[in-house]
Amino acid sequence: MYLNHKITLFINLLRSAMAKIKYIEFDGKEHEIEVSNGLTVMEGAIKNKIPGIDADCGGACACATCHVYVADEWINKLPNKDDSEEDMLDFAFEVKESSRLSCQITVSDELEGLVVKMPEKQF
Amino acid sequence: MSETIKTDCLIVGAGPVGLFAVFELGILGLSCEVVDNLDKIGGQCAELYPDKPIYDIPALPECTGLSLIENLQKQIKPFNTSFHLNERIDQISNEGDLWIVKTSANKVFETPNIFIAGGVGSFEPRKPPIESVSMFEGKGIEYSILNKDYYAGKKIVIFGGGDSALDWTVELSKIASHITLVHRRDEFKAAQHTVNLMEALVKEEKVDLITNHQISDVSGDTRIKKAVIKDKSDETQEIECDEILIFYGLKMELGPINNWGLNLNEKQISVNTENFETNLPGVFAIGDISYYPGKLKLILSGFHEAALASQKAFVRAKPDETLTFRYTTSSSDIQKKLGVK
């Protein structure tokens, strides 16, 4: 009984430390992935080998090859872009209001259900 | 074709790891030559983040990308190494135990060892993935300027908001008949001084500035005639022009390395962890470009890899000599090589 309780607590802990994120490839193919809190949206994609995010610089906000479009309802829910992210977006293609660099979005409980779409090409 | 350059080791990539390999080879008494596709030494550190701080170099609590490179250059100064910049390795082939390496500038190297220290590959200009743009590449669309005078009297559209876009807007405004600068937002990521110069030119009506627009399409016949740009709501407008210059920065591509017959792990080259040799004898991969279980893309890992690869390079370059391990602290031989004794 006590052990069961402990296991439930542990499972809850594991659950709460993840957020479900939906990555949609340019051709519409969807990947729904549990990403650990503290990782970036980019790292979630790379670890799960989701195509469409290159992340050449490895997350140093120095290359703009992890460009994604966040779903409209998420644009204002995410923490604001800092200057370096806005600067780097100059080097992305087809930048829109919803454009973000996924290496600059850190996963947390608040991001449960986040939807990001990949551009046609990381150029 | 030029004369063949013989060396103990050819290093591909002048980033921090390539530079430290010069040191490690140098203290073993091996000669080397360095080739890099960029126009300067320093790789990503110099090109992508010269001013960004780095905190994880052992015994250097804080440095910048640029200061790290400057210090490495100081460290390898005693070896008087030749750098071949603006050149890319196009082809390698082997003759017995030697590698014959050809560069994009038609230089030929003959060497028993190749160190690939290429980071994430060579820097190439970012090209908008638009079919018409690729079609007119070289027919009015360029990503860099080889001959400035060519643009005299021309009607030019320049895309971008960084240093290259602004520097060339200011420079070409002196000779072009008209310049339109198109950028996706109101802010510019360029030296403030250049931004001021550009804004003054706009006031004097020497340059048309169109912000909050991006490239959408281009058209022409045998050469480019028009650029089509669009705003945030996809509303388009056309600009007539003779030339289009696109400055969207650089990206990294593995490039011809893909065709060398190396075992790859996605965009990295598989190596063993004893001496970081690849599946091709005498070809080593060190730094971010190498892959092995547990690999961390850290500059400090690359330094370690350079040291170990150099040991094996010695055996290949001087098969008749015995390599005795020596510390820089106490070896008078090494200190002589460094010019401190």
User: d(Cα B31, Cα B78) in Å, to the nearest integer?
Assistant: 12
How close A42 gets to chain B, by Cα (Å)?
16
Let me know if residue A123 belongs to a domain. no
How close B134 gets to chain A, by Cα (Å)?
13
Determine the structural domain holding residue A30 and report its residue range: 19-117
**pLDDT at residue B67, rounded to an integer:** 96
CB distance B337 to B27 below 8 Å: yes
Contacts of B297 in chain A (CB under 8 A): 58
Architecture of domain B4-124+251-337 in this structure: 3-Layer(bba) Sandwich (3.50)
User: d(Cα A110, Cα A37) in Å, to the nearest integer?
Assistant: 10
pLDDT, tens digit, 9 for 90 and up, residues B128-149? 989 999 999 999 999 988 889 9
Which residues lie across from A21 on neighbouring strands? A33, A114
Question: Residues B165-176: what's their mean pLDDT?
Answer: 96
Question: Residues B333-339: what's their mean pLDDT?
Answer: 93
Residue among A58, A60, A90 minimizing CB distance to B184: A90
Contacts of B183 in chain A (CB under 8 A): 90
Interface contact flag, B129 A62, Cβ < 8 Å = no
Q: Does B14 touch chain A (CB under 8 A)?
A: no
Interface contact flag, B126 A121, Cβ < 8 Å = no
Which residues lie across from B157 on neighbouring strands? B180, B244
Contacts of B187 in chain A (CB under 8 A): 86-87
**pLDDT score of B262 more than 60:** yes
B positions 282-311 inside 8 Å of A (CB)? 288, 297
Let me know if residue A5 belongs to a domain. no
Could you state, in order of their start, the residue ranges of all structural domains in chain B?
Answer: 4-124+251-337, 127-248
Residue among B44, B251, B297 minimizing CB distance to A123: B251
pLDDT, tens digit, 9 for 90 and up, residues B1-18? 568 999 999 999 999 999
Tell me which of A57, A75, A101 to substitute to probe the interface with B (most B C-beta atoms closer than 10 Å). A57
Let me know if residue A9 belongs to a domain. no
**DSSP structure class, residue B40:** S
pLDDT, tens digit, 9 for 90 and up, residues A32-58? 999 999 999 999 999 999 999 988 878
Same fold, B4-124+251-337 and B127-248: yes
Interface contact flag, B49 A58, Cβ < 8 Å = no
Into how many domains does chain A fold?
A: 1
For A21-25, B79-83, B228-232, B263-267, which range has the lowest pLDDT when averaged over its residues? B263-267
Contacts of B52 in chain A (CB under 8 A): 60, 62
- DSSP codes joined into one string, B178-232: EEEEE-SSS--BS-HHHHHHHHHHHHTTSEEEE-S-EEEEEEESSSEEEEEEE-T
Alpha helix positions (H), B245-331: 299-317
**pLDDT at residue B249, rounded to an integer:** 86
Interface contact flag, B129 A120, Cβ < 8 Å = yes
CB distance B179 to B265 below 8 Å: no
CB distance A67 to A41 below 8 Å: no
Pick B86 or B52 by higher pLDDT: B86
Interface contact flag, A60 B48, Cβ < 8 Å = yes
Q: Does B249 touch chain A (CB under 8 A)?
A: yes
**pLDDT at residue A10, rounded to an integer:** 63
Q: Does B189 touch chain A (CB under 8 A)?
A: yes
Residue among B120, B214, B248 minimizing CB distance to A91: B248
Q: Does B49 touch chain A (CB under 8 A)?
A: yes
Contacts of B48 in chain A (CB under 8 A): 57, 60, 62-63
> Which residues of A have a CB under 8 Å from any CB of B?
56-58, 60, 62-65, 86-87, 89-91, 93-97, 120-121, 123
Let me know if residue A8 belongs to a domain. no
Interface contact flag, A120 B44, Cβ < 8 Å = no
Strand blocks (E) in A3-75:
18-24, 30-36, 67-70
What are the φ and ψ backbone dihedral angles of B312, each rounded to 5 degrees? -70, -35
Classify domain B127-248 at the CATH topology level: FAD/NAD(P)-binding domain (3.50.50)
Tokens of A23: 């990555």
CB distance B210 to B229 below 8 Å: yes
**H/E segment holding residue B100:** strand B98-103
User: d(Cα B278, Cα B117) in Å, to the nearest integer?
Assistant: 12
Question: Residues B33-42: what's their mean pLDDT?
Answer: 94
Residue of B nearest to A51 (CA): B266
Interface contact flag, B187 A86, Cβ < 8 Å = yes
Task: For residue B278, give every residue at least 6 positions away whose Cβ sits within 8 Å of its Cβ, in sequence order, or none.
Answer: B116, B262, B263, B269, B270, B271, B284, B285
**pLDDT score of A112 more than 60:** yes
User: d(Cα B247, Cα B252) in Å, to the nearest integer?
Assistant: 15
**H/E segment holding residue B238:** strand B236-240
The CATH number that applies at residue A110 is 3.10.20.30
Contacts of B162 in chain A (CB under 8 A): 90-91
Interface contact flag, B161 A91, Cβ < 8 Å = no
